[in-house]
Chains A and B, each alone.
Chain A
């Protein structure tokens, strides 16, 4: 059921489409309120350091997702997606 790679493994600067969020309703609904759900396109804008958050761009917004949570969000990378 997991498809693709997690936000942690994703390269900074690449784009992908979220396939699954591996978590309970608590996590999915919090992410949902910020516009992050299966089917949305995200671009990773920064990688974590010291197990800090991953930041991604969703539409015009930028969201910081904690390290553990970012490991549960899976994306399908679009190879050399046109920008």
Chain B
């Protein structure tokens, strides 16, 4: 039996899901699309009988069963393909009953076996709303259960009453749906005096022009500081000591001695010794640099980034940022929601490219994902750039990230003009600020970290392995010689840097790592980091972009990337040459 959680976005559907299901949860793609949904297991008690096992599906949030986006199409697909024994749990926002009932009535019109849960019940108090639950239950003819999913209130009742789910007795038709909803609201809901909470006032302040911009600057600067401090702290106090004092002397060095300090296997596993010692940044073996890059350099920043991002998501700040950025994003052919794929891209370009689908038109999806792939370095790459260029401080980091920002602004304007299609306007719900539900936050963070480890580590190891093979076979040297007119001539980089550009197709972090042993000048470091970010996405992002944009648009996008990378790299090289010599 399947239990489908169906409801509007931002009504706490996922928290209800977390409450109903156990620890074992899987995220999958809906067949033929890239829209994700989560699935878990629960037990439904039956009076006097064995509890029944059921599959719980957290259907993507939707306002209507007349789909306007791909996520909504998936939601409708689930509802239309229900089997006879399946049940819909319609999660309703008790503080927005009227709007929520639109979806409820559409489910009623499709004669689905259902039960209604009035979530966010605790918030009805300060908003002065009084809902007659028994009355609503009588009118609709399906069980209605008030819940506060974040505290667990009402969840037990919901589970107990699940077997009572039935096809509603109420008859509704599309033609006069709103009139009928109005009637129901008049009968069951009384509005009292609303108390404005501090969070509400803060909510209004963060979308008003002046206060909003100030709050945005504070929040973004604060987020950046937290990510940096936490990342640096984890590296300095946990990961670096582990690699330098435990893994190096007790595992990697003994292995190196046992292998005789050189030879093919030594190169693959340990890499090259620097002054007879292992250098985790430069040795480039599977068990040295191959582990240090994903765990020692990147994981601490990925962890702190996703912690901060998850908090921003769960408090409800992101839609407000989208409102504030809307005006600026219009210059790039996007609207405010375009900041979401960009922000996610800073963590990893893969979820960034996936998030581009929240944009309505093909033109916007093309611009958003192309801009993200070109100008947004992922956390893995950023961590390695900080490692490589950090010694120069702001003198290296400001030109690198500043150039990328300028490139994004200029390229956005160009694409807005030349990419055909529509750029629709922003129209979004702004949920109230909420205190994040810690268990849900922890679960999401855990899932993101596991996802990173599973997706990234194999590719990093593959990248390091392939580098060593190509190096041994002198392939990198050959390609370096072939491409030297561009790499050395236009970009002013050493021929060996081409190795980084080859490996950058696999993993950007490994690619930046390969630049470390080259001991480049400040100018070369800046040019190399900018070009490595821009010239092409890593293979994982590339695959997602092909799926999302289609082969033809991806080829166009790739053409934009390569041309702009060479142009910008060349100009940057000349400018820095003039400035730094």
Tell me whether B323 and A30 are in contact (CB under 8 A).
no
Which of A12, A47, A50, A52 is packed against the most chain B CB atoms within 10 Å? A52
* Min CB–CB distance A82 → chain B (angstroms): 12
Residue-wise, chain A 16-33 has the 8 Å CB interface mask toward B (1 for contact) of 000000000000011101
Question: How many angstroms from the CA of A37 to the CA of B177 in the assembled complex?
Answer: 13
The 8 closest A-B pairs by CB, nearest first: A66-B425, A50-B327, A33-B63, A52-B327, A52-B326, A35-B99, A49-B209, A62-B430
Say whether, besides A34-B99, A53-B336, A62-B203, A46 and B425 are in contact (CB < 8 Å): no
Chain A, residue nearest B213 (CB): A49
Tell me whether A69 and B427 are in contact (CB under 8 A).
yes
Question: How many angstroms from the CA of A53 to the CA of B129 in the assembled complex?
Answer: 28
Question: How many angstroms from the CA of A50 to the CA of B98 in the assembled complex?
Answer: 33
- For chain B, the count of residues having a C-beta within 8 Å of the partner chain is 38
Offer 26 A-B interface pairs, CB within 8 angstroms, sorted by A. Answer: A12-B208, A29-B64, A29-B66, A29-B68, A30-B68, A31-B427, A45-B207, A46-B204, A46-B207, A46-B209, A52-B323, A52-B327, A55-B323, A59-B98, A60-B96, A60-B129, A61-B429, A62-B203, A63-B427, A63-B430, A64-B430, A66-B326, A66-B335, A66-B424, A66-B425, A67-B425
B468 within 8 A of A: no
* Min CB–CB distance B326 → chain A (angstroms): 4
Tell me whether B63 and A34 are in contact (CB under 8 A).
yes
Residue-wise, chain B 208-228 has the 8 Å CB interface mask toward A (1 for contact) of 110010000000000000000
Chain A's interface size range is 20 to 34
Residues of B within 8 A of A46 (CB): 204, 207-209, 212, 323
Given A60-B127, A69-B425; 12 other pairs, CB 8 A cutoff:
A12-B208, A35-B102, A45-B204, A45-B207, A46-B204, A52-B323, A52-B426, A53-B425, A61-B430, A66-B424, A67-B326, A68-B425
Chain B, residue nearest A68 (CB): B425
Residue-wise, chain B 324-352 has the 8 Å CB interface mask toward A (1 for contact) of 11111010000110000000000000000
* Min CB–CB distance B34 → chain A (angstroms): 23
B319 within 8 A of A: yes
B401 within 8 A of A: no
Residues of A within 8 A of B430 (CB): 55, 61-64
